[in-house]
Structure 1
Amino acid sequence: MKTEGNFLPAEWVEQSGVQLTWPDAETDWVDLLDEVVPVYEQMARAILEREKLLIVCRDKSNLPEFLQAENERLLIHEMPINDTWARDHAALTIMEEGEPVLLNFRFNGWGMKFAACDDNQITPTLFEQAAFQPGVPMVDYSYFTFEGGAIESNDAGCILTTSECLLSKNRNEHLSKSEIEGFLKNTLEAGKILWLDHGFLEGDDTDSHIDTLARFCSEDTIAYVKCDDETDMHFEALKKMKEQLQTLTDLENKPFKLVALPFADAVFAEDGHRIPATYANFLIINGAVLFPIYGVKQDKEAIEVMQSLFPDREIIPINSVPLIKQHGSIHCISMQFPLGVL
């Protein structure tokens, strides 16, 4: 991990911990609690084995028994919540001369699609409740609507994002693309914003968050979702996305190494609509990668690809079908913090 300069650290740098916002009967998970809580429990156990776990919840008495026990790595903070998509309501962390600085943005339910009045207050409330290390500052950008799932950092000055999300209506439509790019460069300490104009997943509510489509796995490597089935509705858009990825370059104008992730067989909700099964929505933690699987034949190949990308980390498969029933996956429900934050 870098110790000098100002930058947005990549997910693979050493972490102090991960935030999860816990589902309960007053969230959209109400009809799926029996399915989804075991997913959260598996993630919580894996995180606690390796680093701190910050749990935001409405009522800690509703947490499972193993999270009721004393654990120096476990931090629990109670407050009102709407739902549990921590990637998008949690703080982002930049490093300024080796010290972490929290950034608080406005979360408005992905362009006012869903209620988010309580989720928008989670980060300021955590700051007020001293959830973070003493002395870690928080800069308020609540006039700018933004979500953590919309960006990827390569730890070397490049930010990858999608125009479909950042230029969508009901987020920051009063700003031009160049104004948004300038804001991101300034606030995220980035030298280059890499825009993708193609790619989507049916059933995705986020307007094509980058973490469903393409992810940095090192400074020079991008893993991306590839569809080989010409009859699939995603084929053309993902083909164009790959072609655009091939044109992107880093700060030294060098192209990135591209590694294809398989495209999961279609997964459908009980009412028949397609839900967004993607292998790009993994979470990197200290010593491991929490990896979504969907009970389809591509799971095995996807795990092998991920192990090749992270040979020194344990790949932990997690059944994420319950998560995509609410149109997200592992990365969407979590937010990592680098050293010095928790």
Structure 2
Amino acid sequence: MPLARTDTPAGLGYRMPAEWEPHAATWIAWPHQKSDWPGKIAPIPWVYTEIVRHLHQSEKVNLLVADSRMEAAARRYLLKGGVDLTKVHFWQQPTNRVWTRDYGPIFVVNDKHQKGMLDWRFNAWAKYPDWKQDDAIPGKLNKKLKLPAWQPFCHDKRVVLEGGSIDPNGKGMLLTTEECLLSPVQERNPGMNRADYEKVFHDYLGIKKVIWLNQGIVGDDTHGHVDDLARFVNAKSIVTIREPNAADPNHAILEENWDRLKYTKLDIIALPMPEPVVFNGQRLPASYANFYIANTVVLVPTFNDPNDREALGILAELFPDRKVVGIHAVDLVWGLGTLHCMTQQEPR
């Protein structure tokens, strides 16, 4: 059960750690929703197999499956892909979709190395009608994890928040976007304003300063998630994508975000963008910023693009203590998300 609303995590000494801090595990959900990859579901389990193959060499993988039948199918794929199943823990919990970044629990820790869980409300990006199974995941998982847990509230209403809309540095700073949290389009929390969000981030995540970017990239189904735009890579450095082609609709969007970041007094590093990835007439949210930082590896989406090599090289320099691995994501991004969207870290 959630604790009393006045006993907020920050008040009890908890904070949301940065993604590069040590993990106990990575949480993912096995792909099953054919409508998320219409006409292209066949390669997706193999993409997941490759992702798990790299992750399980770094840390435990907690894999959500709907039932024993889906678990058996996942085991067959993973075994064929050379995965050691002793390092994969299966959790039979049905989900609507696979984007655990957005509906999975967000974990917090305190100075005593104790762990807690935040159970935000999830409503499928204020866009889709099928979300109740995803929304229930944190509470169901905590029946076994048995961690201190909070359901964040503001104005006597539970707060809707997706993990892909925020990026913290573990030292009291957080990145987000106005388009996602403050726009009336796909409005998550009607009535909440900038100050409300900043107070919620302070009380529940231990955040002291919020960096607000403007818009997300073209093709982003979430309406402005920051994890396709800009990411902390250490406490004082941010990588952010740029598009030099002035004719590309992303150019002006990304230049405004770059200008905002220049005033933060942090180190700002540019990441390239791939050429537009289009399938069935639709531009997809292909971005190198959607990488995932695990204990010993950084997984980076790649798109059969000349800039793949440049992006991998930049991130390899920023994470010299980790292996930087490209994961082919041309098929995966047809689901309108890639590696960061489908993973959620659990701190050690």
What SS does the aligned partner of 1:195 have?
strand
- C-alpha distance after superposition, 1:261-313 (max 9, x if no partner): 001101101x2111111000000001110111000111011111110111111
Pair 1:194 & 2:204 matched: no
SS in structure 1 opposite 2:338?
Answer: coil
**Pairwise CA RMSD of aligned residues?**
1.8
Partner residue, 2:241? 225
Q: CA 1:150 to 1:40, structure 2 compared with 1: closer, same or farther past 3 Å?
A: same
Match of 1:124 in 2: 139
* Pair 1:286-2:286 in alignment: no
**Cα deviation digits, residues 204-252 of structure 1 (max 9, x gap):** 111111100000000000000011111111111111110001112xxxx
Say which is worse superposed, 77-86 or 258-267, in terms of deviation.
77-86
Task: Give secondary structure in 2 for the equivalent of 1:174.
Answer: coil
What is the identity, as a one-letter code, of the residue corresponding to 1:260?
A
1:62 — aligned with what?
73
Structure 1 position 236 matched with structure 2 position 252: yes
User: Of the candidates 264, 272, 278, which is equivalent to residue 274 of structure 2?
Assistant: 264
Say whether the 8 Å CA contact 1:27–1:83 is kept in structure 2.
no
Residues of 1 paired with 2:299 and 2:118: CA distance?
25
The secondary structure found in structure 1 opposite 2:337 is coil
Q: Give the alignment partner of residue 76 of structure 1, picking from 86, 90, 94.
A: 90
- 1:147 matched to which residue of 2? 162
Task: Please tell me whether the aligned partners of residues 220 and 256 of structure 1 are also in contact (alpha carbons under 8 angstroms).
Answer: yes
Matched residue, 1:156: 171
Q: Map of 1:91-106 to 2, 5 A cutoff?
A: 91-97=105-111, 98-106=113-121
Is the CA contact 2:65–2:90 (under 8 Å) kept in the aligned structure 1? yes
Counterpart of 1:118, as a letter, is Q
Provide the residue aligned with 1:178 in structure 2. 195
- Listed one character per residue, the Cα deviations across residues 135-182 of structure 1 (whole Å, up to 9, x for unaligned) are 522222371100000111111110111111111333111212211211
Q: Partner of 1:278: helix, strand, or coil?
A: coil
Matched, 1:88 2:97: no
Counterpart of 1:137, as a letter, is P
Cα distance, 1:73 vs structure 2: 2.5
CA distance in 1, matches of 2:119, 2:331: 29
The answer (yes or no) to whether the contact 2:18–2:168 under 8 Å persists in 1 is: yes
Quick one: distance in 1 between partners of 2:255 and 2:216? 11
CA distance in 2: counterparts of 1:146 and 1:222, whole angstroms: 22
How far apart, in 1, do the equivalents of 2:39 and 2:294 lie?
29
**Percentage identity across aligned positions?**
30
Distance 2:35 2:106 in 1: 23
Structure 2 unpaired stretches of 5+: 1-11
CA pair 126-227 structure 1, distance change in 2 beyond 3 A: same
Aligned residue number for residue 315 of structure 1: 324
With structure 1 as the length reference, what TM-score do the two structures score?
0.90
Aligned counterpart, 1:45: 53
**1:111–1:168: 8 Å Cα contact kept in structure 2?**
no
**Which of residues 307, 312, 318 is equivalent to 1:303?**
312
| Distance (whole Å) between structure 1 residues aligned to residue 85 and residue 304 of structure 2 | 33
Q: Which amino acid aligns with 2:207?
A: A
Over 6 Å off, 4+ runs: none
1:9 alignment partner in structure 2? 17
Instruction: Please give the alpha-carbon distance, in whole angstroms, between the structure 2 residues aligned to 1:60 and 1:30.
Output: 22
Instruction: Give the C-alpha shift of residue 33 in structure 1.
Output: 2.4
Aligned residue identity for 2:229? L
**In structure 1, what residue type is equivalent to 2:166?**
I
| CA contact 1:102–1:139 (8 Å) conserved in 2 | yes
Distance in 2 separating the partners of 1:51 and 1:63:
18
Query: CA separation in 1, counterparts of 2:221 and 2:129?
Result: 10
Q: C-alpha separation between the residues in 2 aligned to 1:201 and 1:275?
A: 9
Q: How far did 1:124 drift?
A: 1.2
**Amino acid corresponding to residue 141 of structure 2 in structure 1:** L
The match for 1:338 is 347
Q: Which runs of 5+ in 1 are unaligned?
A: 249-254
1:88-141 per-residue CA deviation (whole Å, 9 max, x = no partner) reads 01111111233111101011011133521111111111122x1x3xx5222223
Deviation at 1:27, TM superposition (A): 5.6
Moved more, 94-103 or 143-152: 94-103
Measure how far apart 1:5 and its partner are.
Answer: 5.0
One-letter amino acid matched to 2:192: L
Distance (Å, rounded) in 2 between the aligned partners of 1:312 and 1:70: 24
Total equivalences in the alignment: 324
